[in-house]
Structure 1
């Protein structure tokens, strides 16, 4: 993708013209959520990604977000997820793996929801879940919880506070607080307490309408069966090379 990854935009581009402003981050959060909602709930088979993180979100010419790197996903037919072990679930990236997978929990879509929550917290704080500052039982979520909701300005990316002076500090802080709340909701310890991706899309659409004044009806892809058929053909041929595969979230 011409604009590289979300990871690149968060950590490896400096200078004002390369910054992701608040509206950029709201849009990216929305597009990723729509893509994950499609994979979990609208595809003719259910797809669990297992490695959702900024480096696996690519940005196209118009900065549209694409979920990428389908080297680890599980395509679930019926109850076949029951045969997957906790060892299968633990495949992914440190900091983004749901805690239940470490104690033998089954692979579910709620694991992706947890990863999405971490990504959202990272997107608006510009802090990796593996940052050296997180020690002695403190992680990204707990650090944010310690400041939530009254001191949220102490944890969000300073660039967004600069934007706040231009568009109204109280409105921006309220928007950031709502995103932090969604991230914390998605990263609850119990998977049963986490929302599903369709609920997240609805909530984000409300936030988008309130703060950008551009409510958007989610536009989910109709069918990716040709892509999946091609993938099956490649796998049957013994290639196993998924590099470059992605599904649009626009």
Structure 2
């Protein structure tokens, strides 16, 4: 939650807009009370007025392999939605304990596709076992459901078109809803758009003989 709140401040509430450009677990530190702090602003961009319109990723391609938004590799403008994409990778990595650059992700396979292949019916096959090790047998299903909600957020942030990704304020709303559902005993939240049919459609479009007919498909890591 602290990471999302920090990014929302940088993107929407700071007196200047800041694009971090390298959001990843290595750039998040934990305090003594386990509060998360975003660090390493060495390659960040400060956006003043409309200067973002002329600043493209080819002017200064920044970030770490596996976390860079796909539009940056095509010369797209640096935007806050690039940080949203990196946040999505961070969430999926924390939940699965798999880095996007691991050797198992090769020959067209990546962290996102690996999770999509098991979503939503085999989530326990990809979730880090340490998230379940302390859970009582009666609590395991609740933990899995909670993790599934977080994975939905991660997958929802991966849209290839930047304008189709949520911003950090929307992500905070989803995180608060999840916390309310599992701590406050309220109804389990659903994303504004059910991503399951979207994933199924993406799988169909990638089948041999099928033409990829849309620019709104989920991107690779």
TM-score range, shorter chain: 0.7 to 0.9
| Residue 128 (1) aligns with residue 89 (2) | no
| Residue 149 (1) aligns with residue 110 (2) | no
| Residue 73 (1) aligns with residue 44 (2) | yes
Q: Distance in 1 between matches of 2:185 and 2:47?
A: 35
Residue 32 of structure 1 aligns with which residue? 3
Residue 27 of structure 1 aligns with which residue? none
| Residue 102 (1) aligns with residue 86 (2) | no
Root-mean-square deviation (CA, aligned residues, Å) is 1.5
Q: Distance in 1 between matches of 2:59 and 2:43?
A: 9
Higher helix share: 1
For CA contacts below 8 A with separation 6 or more, give which structure has more relative contact order: 1
Aligned match for 2:145, one of 174, 178, 182: 174
Q: 1:89 to 1:113 in 2, by over 3 A?
A: farther
Q: Distance in 1 between matches of 2:160 and 2:13?
A: 26
Tell me by how many angstroms 1:89 deviates: 5.1
Q: What SS is found at the alignment partner of 1:52?
A: coil
Residue 185 of structure 1 aligns with which residue? 156
Q: Distance in 2 between matches of 1:115 and 1:90?
A: 14
Query: Normalization by structure 2: what TM-score?
Result: 0.81
Residue 24 of structure 1 aligns with which residue? none
Structure 2, unpaired ranges of 5+: 187-221
Residue 213 of structure 2 aligns with which residue? none
Q: What SS is found at the alignment partner of 2:159?
A: coil
Residue 161 of structure 1 aligns with which residue? 132
Query: Normalization by structure 1: what TM-score?
Result: 0.71
Q: 1:214 to 1:44 in 2, by over 3 A?
A: farther
Q: Distance in 2 between matches of 1:113 and 1:88?
A: 20
Tell me by how many angstroms 1:208 deviates: 1.2
Residue 190 of structure 2 aligns with which residue? none
| Residue 47 (1) aligns with residue 18 (2) | yes
Q: What SS is found at the alignment partner of 1:51?
A: coil
Structure 1, unpaired ranges of 5+: 1-29, 216-250
